[in-house]
Structure 1
Amino acid sequence: MVATDGLPIIKLGVEDAIGGFALSTEARWNQTEEDWRVFLHEGVVFGIRDGARLVATAALLPYSGNNAWISMVLVSATHRRRGLATRLVDACLETARKNGLTSWLDATPDGAAVYGPLGFTSTLQLQRLKLVRPARAEAPPSSSATIDALRARDRRGTGFDRTALLSAIAQRSGSRIVSANGAIALVRDGRTARHIGPLFSDHAAAALALVDTIARSETGPLLIDAIVSQAAFLEGLTVSGWTIERPFQRMRFGPATAMAEEMPFAVAGPEFG
């Protein structure tokens, strides 16, 4: 076994997007190379190399109001169970501490078992659901939704100003913002499936109707990360053919600094919150 305890933690640059993408692909995550460029351009990404190969990463993406999102905590299968992820998360937390930031993340059950002892406390529970569509679709719905409308609703639903993030994603080829009857959502490409979220709505019926409209205009698989406390929405998704893939636990390290005015129905993804 090769000793890796002494491998240094380094800060990664935009040229490391391909290496990061290789790690998330190995883990069968849905991120694209463009997602990695957001983290590398807007945040701080720590990494560990073994020789020339990038074998572990963790990212800290700053948001407004002294908040930051920790994600992309990845270790190659060849280097797991050697403490690399803990070292990288510690680097993120130390950076957040020095800058007075409260840290957030969405953890898998295994991850939650690691982050709890580090001092993270649980907040929201999420469920990732998947829908596989036939290879035919209706015409995409017409919508006059704007990035400003999505940004405003996102701030009400999260307590964060994520203008830079939402604008970067919405401007990508294949992304669209869809709204109807008081509901609004962002739809974007992923590596293996299109992703719906964040999604905000005045009530569950409108949220479900918007998801159905989006789904009927898509030809490939779809993912959505729904908030468990939106029980009617979650039940409506499963009744309409969505299957639950895995849970996520939202966790916070530090004082609560963001006051949301409403509860979203689905989030932007565990990598973005």
Structure 2
Amino acid sequence: MAAIEPIDIVELGIADAQAGLVLSTEAGWNQNEADWRVFLSHGIVFGVRDSGRLVATAALLPYSAGNAWISMVLVTADSRRRGIATKLVDACLDAAKRRGLTTWLDATPAGATVYGPLGFMPTLQLRRLRLEQPQTDKATRPLSAGSLDALATRDSRAMGFDRSTLLSEFAARPRSRIVSGERAMALVRDGRAARHIGPVLADRADQALGLVDAIVRSESGPWLIDAVHAQDEFLEGLVHAGWNIERPFQRMRFGKAAAAPAQLPFAVAGPEFG
């Protein structure tokens, strides 16, 4: 795609899941094909093609109460620095505006410098952490199967809006688990390269840490988790247990929040889903 050529933005369909996966894999992200199918079947995904090859994407995933998530902003290496990502985000914002949606996203530090001038306001911060295997084989708290309804109710309080459709889709996948223990709940699912834990919801940090510890000792890794930075006791506990911080994310919002969260989660479903 030559720099002087116009950028032709198209709306993608479910048949583009594999092509989207190629882009996110190139970027080293953890999404699998099932994740792409969520965006393509439940959201709006805009893309740019070059000679038939998908070279860029951005997704708008509507939730309830007039909220939506922007994510999967990807441009292949040889098509960058041409303003494509900005135009794709603008397409998502235009689609959200037509539907009266407040949009959210979780940005890398570099992305935050781009989204700020577009009108996005910072809210909370996240830290992505990775664990290959637990440090020791000490005994852990027992795990119980958790209820999807209970998880969705607690997630709604933490987010300020309902995401039961998304959580139900996650829970129905092979190898997904909803687990609970001592007033804490979490969803565990497969990613492309690592198992992902989140959201993690609990009354206290020690409950959340105990549940995460029991999860990672119940099966093999590697593991990823996206912890809320303001939950400092939880974050410090993860690092002490051997988790390594890989990168920060800044949560940002375009428009007014419909409702304030009743209680922050300890970890989120992922920067692509919120």
SS at match of 1:166: helix
Alignment of 1:66-145 (within 5 A): 66-133=66-133, 142-145=143-146
| 8 A contact 2:7–2:84 mirrored in 1 | no
| 8 A contact 1:139–1:217 mirrored in 2 | no
Q: Quote the residue 1:220 is aligned against.
A: 221
Residue identity in the other structure for 1:226? A
Shift of 1:133: 1.1
Q: Quote the residue 1:197 is aligned against.
A: 198
Matches of 1:138 and 1:34, distance apart in 2? 34
Shift of 1:259: 2.1
Matches of 2:116 and 2:45, distance apart in 1? 22
Structure 2: gaps spanning 5 or more residues: none
Matches of 1:54 and 1:137, distance apart in 2? 45
Q: Quote the residue 2:3 is aligned against.
A: 3
Alignment of 1:146-225 (within 5 A): 146-225=147-226
Matches of 2:3 and 2:267, distance apart in 1? 42
| 8 A contact 1:5–1:82 mirrored in 2 | no
Q: Quote the residue 1:43 is aligned against.
A: 43
Shift of 1:255: 1.1
Shift of 1:110: 0.4
Matches of 2:139 and 2:24, distance apart in 1? 32
Matches of 2:247 and 2:255, distance apart in 1? 26
Structure 1: gaps spanning 5 or more residues: none
Matches of 1:209 and 1:50, distance apart in 2? 49
TM-score, normalised on structure 2? 0.96
How has the CA–CA distance of structure 1 residues 24 and 139 changed in structure 2, closer, same or farther, with 3 Å as cutoff?
farther
| 8 A contact 1:138–1:218 mirrored in 2 | no
Matches of 1:185 and 1:247, distance apart in 2? 21
Residue identity in the other structure for 2:123? T
SS at match of 1:133: coil
Matches of 1:177 and 1:69, distance apart in 2? 23
SS at match of 2:71: strand
- CA deviations 1:149-181 (Å, max 9, x no partner) are 110110011012111100001110010001001
Shift of 1:70: 0.1
Residue identity in the other structure for 1:248? F
How many residues are aligned here? 273
Q: Quote the residue 2:247 is aligned against.
A: 246
Q: Quote the residue 2:266 is aligned against.
A: 265
Matches of 1:4 and 1:74, distance apart in 2? 20
SS at match of 1:72: strand
TM-score, normalised on structure 1? 0.96
